[in-house]
Amino acid sequence: MEQAVRKRDAEATRQSIFQAARTAFSHASYDQVTLREIAGMAEVDVALVVRYFGSKEELFAGVITLSGPQPTPPEDHSLYGEWMVRRMLQPEPHKDITHLLALHHSVTNPRAAEIIREVMRARFIEPMSRYIGGPDGELRAALLLSALAGFAMMRWVVELGPATTTEREKLVQFLAPAIQGYID
């Protein structure tokens, strides 16, 4: 009996591995997830995981990084708070919280926390600090990220009552000025 030969598709294999990592890190802590587990979920050899992603650290960094290009904030800084809150609340029904779950499960591991800090600094703190400007730009960017991450965690992971059930426009009304305060 002839065995079916699986067609090689590097991008499909890479995506399969990445999706397996997203699933693994969103269900277990950094300590508990292994490259062998990810490879098994993706139905590939561990060597392919290493070939495509280098290490568990690099895979974890990819999972906690929001995908896609970073959006360009409004040129008029006075519009940032409302722009950001509306952006966070869209598209509500299909919100992907994988990165939040990975953070939630893994933040107590010192290596995972270090990776989280590195990713947040490169992807948010540094660009936001430049956007805000001034001598306290980095501090304000860090506080802004903390506020946004806290709201996201309470709304989509913890599903904290009013943070989850309140209508979108009312959330914008309350949150936008608070977020804007970090910019101003």
- pLDDT, one tens digit per residue, over 119-147 is 999 999 999 999 999 889 999 999 999 99
Report the CATH number of the 10-56 domain.
Answer: 1.10.10.60
What is the location of CATH 1.10.10.60 in the chain? 10-56
Rounded to two decimals, the pTM is 0.81
Helix (H) or strand (E) holding 51: helix 46-53
pLDDT at 57 exceeding the cut of 60: yes
Is residue 176 within 8 Å of residue 85, measured between CB atoms? yes
Is residue 145 within 8 Å of residue 132, measured between CB atoms? no
For the ranges 96-100, 104-108, 116-120, which has the lowest average pLDDT? 96-100
